[in-house]
Amino acid sequence: MKNIDAVGHVRGESIYVDDIPVRVGTLFALAYCSSSAHARINRVDYSKAEEAEGIHRIITHKDIPGENQIGGIILDEPLLAVDEIHFWGQPIAIILAESEYLARQARKLIEIDVEELHVITNPREARKQNKLIHPPRTFSIGDVDNTFNKCAHIFEGRADSNGQEHLYIETQGAYAYPGENDKLFIVSSTQGPTAVQRTAARVLSVPMHQIEVDVTRLGGGFGGKEDQATSFAVMVALASKITKRPVKYVVHRMDDMKMTGKRHPYSSDYKIGLSEDYKILAYEATFHQNAGAAADLSPAVLERTLFHATNAYFIPNVKVTAYSCKTNLPPNTAFRGFGGPQGMFVIESAIQHAARSLGVKKRTIQHINLLDNGNEFPYGQVVDQCQAKTSWNESNEKFNIEKLEFGVLKFNAENKLYKKGIACMPICFGISFTNTMMNNARALVHVYQDGSVGISTGGVEMGQGLNTKMVQVTAEAFNISAKRVKIETTNTTRIANTSPSAASATSDLNGKALQKAIRSIMTRLLLVARQELGVEYHQLDFKNEHIFIDGEKSDLHWEQLISIAHQQRVNLSEHAHYATPIIHFDKSKEKGHPFAYHVYGNSITTVTVDCLRGIYEIDDVKIVHDFGKSMNMDVDLGQIEGGLVQGIGWMTMEELAYGDDGRLLSNALSTYKIPDIYSVPKTIDVKPLKTDGHDLAILKSKAVGEPPLMYGIGAYFAIQNAVLAFNPNANLVFDAPFTPEKVLLALYGE
Ligand code: MTE
Ligand code: LUZ
Ligand code: MOS
């Protein structure tokens, strides 16, 4: 099935927040933000701004009727600063004007007097000063300390990865309007409609039922709108409540980049111990997560780093500890992979370090240590339906890794100033929210009396093809044409208490709820057919929009069946709830079975480095990926390509830069470089692994949203290998992104 949004997107007809026709009386909101990263506010003078043309009023923390608190996991983040500033870009006030332009003009007239305080941007410094979001956590299995004594080889080092700007094409935004009896309607570009509803209720001091949140679709989220859409939605909600007028805020790109948190930078230490024959016997790592100025989702991101610290490898003795460090950056947040990529980069660095020192290929060590059924993850889950070795073997056979490596060697022997490098990157990614409680969803299905169907779920479409998949699930479960099915907006009044659309689990959770609702309706319809036709239940079947009796197609068609059922006063609507079975996790022991299943795969990345300039090209990425039984290969391939390129961007070129004063320097697309058509791999070849899929995946089609991002990590090591081909004495550091400047230094350094 084609993506149902394709035509609307191409024609520019799809509706985003900024496309909603503006209501009469709308005020335009604009946040006034701090220009210091850490300071005490002595005085803010709004008087000139308040008198400026077109200014309706300016809202500060004093105007908040409820709690000035937007923290999601930990209650540690004010909506509007009170007397201290904790990051550059922190909202202090909301300007309301007759137009966005006038709001921006007035913003320049606000004067602030602050006392600057010491700014921390480095997570290691934060840890030294004991500035932590919460106490550190450790996952462990076996006995690392005793095992290191028995290892033939031990390597220790440091690996750093930088953050990443989400750069969703649609910036953050929301539009709120008041209804009768204090009701408030909020349209938000959010992955988490319930988070918006809950937080707006808290800040406005109203019950949640007074707030209706509606989401049509997002122009991308990538995790950046899992939690951080909330503040903007609450700002317009607050302003609308106070002024009783519609209030709109669509955030300017540079304000969005400055104000919002990003992927967490990590600074980590590793120690890896191997046997004589390259089995990894012990692994120890300490992660310093740069959380920024408030918790946001950092505790959950930190947890996923620990869950993925050993990637697709079985290591019998592991001890990994993670610190969530409080710094004066905007609160960092969810980003595709959610801490998993940061953990995986460190183990891959450790293996690269070992391979180079031992003079063996990295892939030899990777191969020997791949996971297998029956192995235990450090968090206690036992591996089953493992595809680590199958995807590895299939990729290396189908793509002929030896031949690819030989091609690289030959090229390098023949070329002095250009060198190629190649690297394998296996992945293993757990599917489920690591917080077990969040793994639930609901769906509402209406069959109308003409046989058309309307479906609602708690899932949010953000470009990942969720809506297309939900229509497919519906058509499949009813056995009717997809043309009869319409997907409604995501709305908290129709579907309550949603988990955010995240963790790659949206289709699984919402699709399974949808199937349950449809099965209930279908059972009632078959009962109607049985009575109408006077046959036994077991003789009946419904397919291709027709009732079948003993395998023979009858005249009873979908539309007639619905019409009869309606006349007989049969309920044609259903609301269903799904909660993932099996999963559990005990935080006091750090053990359990947190994931419904894992997604596996392997990528082979080849790059060419220009050894005069330090620039490089990604020649080719070949992937064998475990889709299970993909229900929509076009959508899923789009996810692989997008995720891969986003991962390559993070590892190679996207360079977030903050000054020592905590100001974002890479604050526009001129100073923050993301992959464009010239920097994507010249070819991407994806082959699906042949498997049966998994029962906990929707229609056995495994979650695909986040896992492919981690294939991009291969680019880092492929570039390193090219550098080594030019300069065998290069001093290898693990400090992503591997920008051309760093490549050049490595090419000529020792
Ligand atoms: N693909 C597009 N086009 N746009 C997005 O914002 N977000 C990613 C991924 N793929 C995203 C995307 C992230 S971070 C997640 S968690 C999943 O999609 C969410 O959707 P899913 O649960 O339906 O896979
Ligand atoms: N969000 C979340 C996530 O709250 N919990 C998770 O485990 C998760 N994983 C991936 C992406 N978002
Ligand atoms: Mo994705 S990081 O789970 O929104």
**Which atom in ligand 1 lies closest to the alpha carbon of residue 335?**
14
Q: Which ligand is nearest to the CA of 220?
A: 1
Q: Which residue has a Cα nearest atom 5 of ligand 2?
A: 433
Q: What is the pLDDT of residues 633-677, one digit of tens each?
A: 999 999 999 999 999 999 999 999 999 999 999 999 999 999 999
Q: What is the pLDDT of residue 439?
A: 98
226 Cα–ligand 3 center, Å: 7
What are the structure tokens assigned to 502, written together?
């995240």
**Which atom in ligand 3 lies closest to the alpha carbon of residue 705?**
1
As annotated, the residues of the chain forming the CATH 3.30.365.10 domain(s) are: 22-118+166-259, 266-434+587-747, 440-579
For ligand 1, say whether the CB of 310 is within 6 Å of any of its atoms: no
Q: How many angstroms separate the CA atoms of 65 and 241, rounded? A: 10
What are the structure tokens assigned to 181, written together?
């009896």
- Span between the terminal Cα atoms of the chain, in Å: 54
**Which atom in ligand 3 lies closest to the alpha carbon of residue 221?**
4
SS3 350: helix
Give the pairing of strands 153-161 and 137-141: unpaired
Checking if the pLDDT of 238 tops 90, the result is: yes
Q: What is the pLDDT of residue 375?
A: 98
- Average pLDDT value for residue range 623-640: 98
Instruction: Assess contact for 697 and 630: CB atoms under 8 A.
Output: no
For ligand 1, say whether the CB of 223 is within 6 Å of any of its atoms: yes
Q: Where does the pLDDT of residue 361 fall: very low under 50, low under 70, confident under 90, or very high at 90 and above?
A: very high
**Which atom in ligand 2 lies closest to the alpha carbon of residue 502?**
12
SS3 142: coil
Domain 22-118+166-259: CATH class, spelled out: alpha beta
Q: What is the pLDDT of residues 122-134, one digit of tens each?
A: 999 999 999 999 9
637 Cα–ligand 3 center, Å: 18
Q: What is the pLDDT of residue 750?
A: 86
- Average pLDDT value for residue range 402-420: 98
SS3 672: coil
Q: Which ligand is nearest to the CA of 229?
A: 3
**Which atom in ligand 3 lies closest to the alpha carbon of residue 337?**
2
Q: Which residue has a Cα nearest atom 9 of ligand 1?
A: 705
For ligand 1, say whether the CB of 466 is within 6 Å of any of its atoms: yes
Q: What is the pLDDT of residues 715-728, one digit of tens each?
A: 999 999 999 999 99
Q: How many angstroms separate the CA atoms of 391 and 385, rounded? A: 12
Helix (H) / strand (E) element for 303: namely: helix 298-307
Instruction: Assess contact for 638 and 705: CB atoms under 8 A.
Output: no
Say what the alpha-carbon torsion angle 376, 380, 386, 387 is, to the nearest 10 degrees: -100
For ligand 2, say whether the CB of 606 is within 6 Å of any of its atoms: no
Q: How many angstroms separate the CA atoms of 273 and 32, rounded? A: 52
Q: Which residue has a Cα nearest atom 2 of ligand 2?
A: 433
The one catalytic residue among 574, 706, 741, 750: 706
Q: Which residue has a Cα nearest atom 3 of ligand 1?
A: 463
Q: Where does the pLDDT of residue 112 fall: very low under 50, low under 70, confident under 90, or very high at 90 and above?
A: very high
Checking if the pLDDT of 58 tops 90, the result is: yes
Q: Which ligand is nearest to the CA of 301?
A: 2
Q: How many angstroms separate the CA atoms of 739 and 750, rounded? A: 18
- Average pLDDT value for residue range 95-114: 98
- Average pLDDT value for residue range 240-268: 98
- Average pLDDT value for residue range 601-623: 98
Q: What is the pLDDT of residue 451?
A: 98
Q: How many angstroms separate the CA atoms of 221 and 173, rounded? A: 12
**Which strands, in side-by-side order, build the sheet including 111-116?**
84-85, 39-45, 111-116
Q: How many angstroms separate the CA atoms of 656 and 671, rounded? A: 9
Q: What is the pLDDT of residue 528?
A: 97
Give the pairing of strands 453-457 and 485-487: parallel
Alpha carbon distances (Å) from 354 to 351, 378, 633, 725, 732: 5, 21, 38, 17, 12
Q: Which residue has a Cα nearest atom 7 of ligand 1?
A: 222
705 Cα–ligand 3 center, Å: 8
- Average pLDDT value for residue range 136-150: 98
299 Cα–ligand 2 center, Å: 10
Checking if the pLDDT of 560 tops 90, the result is: yes
219 Cα–ligand 1 center, Å: 11
Residue 383 is given by DSSP the state P
Q: Which amino acid is at 359?
A: G
Q: Tell me the best of 189, 338, 466, 709 to mutate to test the pocket of ligand 3, counting ligand atoms within 8 Å of each CB and taking the most.
A: 338
Q: How many angstroms separate the CA atoms of 428 and 343, rounded? A: 12
**Which strands, in side-by-side order, build the sheet including 540-543?**
540-543, 546-549, 552-557
- Average pLDDT value for residue range 224-234: 98
Q: Supply the pTM of this predicted model.
A: 0.98
Q: What is the pLDDT of residues 447-496, one digit of tens each?
A: 999 999 999 999 999 999 999 999 999 999 999 999 999 999 999 999 99
Q: How many angstroms separate the CA atoms of 290 and 331, rounded? A: 9
655 Cα–ligand 3 center, Å: 21
| Close Cβ partners of 272 (under 8 Å, ≥ 6 residues apart) | 154, 155, 156, 280, 282, 283, 284, 347, 350, 351, 353, 354
504 Cα–ligand 2 center, Å: 8
Checking if the pLDDT of 373 tops 90, the result is: yes
Checking if the pLDDT of 553 tops 90, the result is: yes
217 Cα–ligand 3 center, Å: 15
338 Cα–ligand 1 center, Å: 12
- Average pLDDT value for residue range 438-454: 98
For ligand 2, say whether the CB of 505 is within 6 Å of any of its atoms: no
Q: Which residue has a Cα nearest atom 11 of ligand 2?
A: 503
Q: What is the pLDDT of residues 15-43, one digit of tens each?
A: 999 999 999 999 999 999 999 999 999 99
Q: What is the pLDDT of residues 162-219, one digit of tens each?
A: 999 999 999 999 999 999 999 999 999 999 999 999 999 999 999 999 999 999 999 9
CATH code assigned to 440-579: 3.30.365.10
Q: How much helix, strand and coil, in percent to the nearest 5, is found in the chain?
A: 35, 25, 40
For ligand 1, say whether the CB of 501 is within 6 Å of any of its atoms: yes
Percent of the chain scoring above 90 in pLDDT: 99
Q: What is the pLDDT of residue 626?
A: 98
Pocket-forming residues, ligand 3, beta carbon under 6 Å: 191, 221, 223, 226, 334-336, 338, 502-503, 706
Q: How many angstroms separate the CA atoms of 750 and 745, rounded? A: 9
Q: Tell me the best of 462, 636, 637, 701 to mutate to test the pocket of ligand 1, counting ligand atoms within 8 Å of each CB and taking the most.
A: 462
Helix spans in 6-155 (H): 6-11, 47-51, 100-107, 123-128, 144-150
Q: What is the pLDDT of residues 295-313, one digit of tens each?
A: 999 999 999 999 999 999 9
Among 328, 319, 318, 337, smallest CA distance to 291 is for: 328
Between 3.40.50.300, 3.30.365.10, 3.20.20.70, 1.10.10.10, what CATH number should domain 266-434+587-747 receive?
Answer: 3.30.365.10
Upper half-sphere CA count for residue 664 (Cβ side, 13 Å): 29
How many CB atoms are closer than 10 A to CB 397? 11
Q: Which ligand is nearest to the CA of 466?
A: 1
For ligand 1, say whether the CB of 503 is within 6 Å of any of its atoms: yes
Handedness of CA 6, 12, 14, 16 (dihedral sign): positive
SS3 558: helix
174 Cα–ligand 1 center, Å: 20
Helix (H) / strand (E) element for 641: namely: helix 633-652
Known catalytic residue at 559: no
- Average pLDDT value for residue range 51-65: 98
Q: What is the pLDDT of residues 311-336, one digit of tens each?
A: 999 999 999 999 999 999 999 999 99
Q: Which amino acid is at 701?
A: S
Helix (H) / strand (E) element for 366: namely: helix 362-368
**Which atom in ligand 1 lies closest to the alpha carbon of residue 469?**
23
- Average pLDDT value for residue range 242-246: 98
Percent of the chain scoring above 70 in pLDDT: 100
- Average pLDDT value for residue range 585-592: 98
| Close Cβ partners of 113 (under 8 Å, ≥ 6 residues apart) | 41, 42, 43, 44, 45
- Average pLDDT value for residue range 101-119: 98
**Which strands, in side-by-side order, build the sheet including 211-215?**
55-59, 91-97, 27-33, 247-250, 173-178, 184-188, 211-215, 490-491
Provide the mean pLDDT of the chain.
98
Q: Which residue has a Cα nearest atom 7 of ligand 2?
A: 433
**Could you give the maximum distance between any two Cα atoms of the chain, in Å?**
86
